[in-house]
Structure 1
Amino acid sequence: MKLQGMSQDSIANRLNELGILSPFEYKISSGSRYETGFRQKEQALWSSVTVRRILENEVYIGNLVQGKRTTPNHKVKQTYVKPEDDWIRIEKNHEPLVSDRDFEIVQRLLGMDTRTSPDQKQVYLLSGIAVCADCGAPMTRKVSTVAGKKYAYYLCSTNKETKRCYSHRIPEKDLEDAVLVMLKQHIQNILHMKRVLEFVGTVPFQEINLKKLQNI
């Protein structure tokens, strides 16, 4: 669901709609006496926090991570999170459920601003991707209504919050069209390079070496 562009909130809502037990309810149904302070209703539902915790968990790519928390000494019960460098990580400890590639893509998506409005299930096409060329801050999507017609555009979030940068206002359609043109050009370059490499693969090594000598 995350790879398809759904936000954590949308994923949580979808799991609740399907009647899939949340991790807490699953543990209870399995006979566990697990307790948590996060349960606020008669039945603990999925939340965006729970979904994100699963999406970030390395156990699904086969890694075993232990020693995240510790206490100052045996007399103090309160724990704190240790620096990540001090964690014990055993890579490929068990059979993975998720590929490394999918996991890496999801981590990149989680690092982007993928918040959605309540009536939206998928993030906008350029959410978390478009950034200001001057200050590097994310571009914020805004919608204005003129004469009953809605117009979507992106502007610099720094300008919106502090006015320390120019607005760099650009219509959403113009930005998407520009990105599409660049993607098509990039794909053409890759295809051209592939044809070049295929041709090079058919040229005898002696001919290649001869051309190298001629270029010296």
Structure 2
Amino acid sequence: MRNRALRGQFLGGVPPFGFTLNKETQKFELVVEEAAIVKDIFDKYLNGDGILKIRNYLNENNVLGRNDYSVGTLQSILKNIHYTGDFVYSKRRNLSRTKKKKTSKDEWITVENNHPQIVTNQDFLMVQDLLKKKNRAKPENLDKRVSGNQFLSGLITCNVCEHSYYHGPRRNGRGVKFDYYVCGGYKTKGKPYCNNKRGLRIDRIDEILFVSVIEILKLDKVMEIYNETANKIQDRLKDDLSNQNTKKERIKTLETEKNRYLELIIQSENQILIQEYEEEIQKRITEIKELKEVIKSKGSTDETLNYFKKLKEEIKHTFEVQYNFNKIIDLGIENVGGIFKHFIDNIRVQDDEQCKRTELDIQYKVGIPELKLLQDIKPVIEIFDNETLVQNTNHNSISEMLNQAAKNYQVCVYEMEYAPPVLKKR
């Protein structure tokens, strides 16, 4: 690979936007239409346009028939030294299969004037200086994804572009910063790609969903959810069971036919007939094997059906003692949000700009894994239902109980195939 790099030959992957790969020389050559866009992006940035403004221009004008140019794409273009005509290799070193580390310029392999130039070296260096200055001036880059322990991380999906919502800070007119869940499609690619531009205030939406889960975790609500989904799931399981029974009956028939041909082979002395009987036997053996594989892949449906029938009793048993779920709020979303998020399967977001509101379609789930999770956190709820226990219990002990409950839940989900979710609008 070093020898190929020293010859300025591409080492695999996708060529940068604006180039294609010459299969004979293994070097970059221009894609004229794309190269013109690259040059335009550099010129606009040098003339004072920001990355967001350039992105919006490209998407709004549907440049090259696309409306999905993203901030990340433009940043990659502006930082790509290959547009100067130089080929550079070994800018990063592999530390492991998943980790890389930037190397110093002394370790780079550079082949100057290796392929057609799109931007001059001077323009490229000026752009790098501008990028550094803007990053220093605005350290909390709004387009940098921020990780966190938000209650709803990974659960919110945009109904327009199917991108996930992620944590992104915003400032109001007075410069006060608020944390939002924002649509990844709108944030990175702009309005032509997605028009769900209204963010969700994290401090508000987390609290709303947190309280809604507590409202769901009442016996009458849980039974309502169960009754709405139980019949559908049981019908599906019964269909699976019926299909399996049909296949089992077919196997019995094939076994009988196979044995009859075996008897005919024993009784016959005609080699032509014996060969035909053997072929018929082999056909039935093959079909029997295929049917058994299908039955095995479906698992034990009758056992699953019987197990699901016990769900109603599990629900009633879990709620025999009236849990005071409101007490769990005292722990705070930051501590138990990770537990209660398991009762939400998905949240889909649709903006209604005409009415200035946002509609959320929330899909809750209360199945056997979630019921077992409730049983695991029961000791924590009892602690917060008893002031004396609260005073005598170490907060670290409570955190350990919650962490263990979350681990048990993941194991339960892995082992369970069916858990009945239900769609509820809020």
TM-score range, shorter chain: 0.3 to 0.5
- In terms of Rg, which structure is larger? 2
Query: Which of the pair is proportionally richer in helix?
Result: 2
TM-score (normalised: structure 1) = 0.37
TM-score (norm 2): 0.20
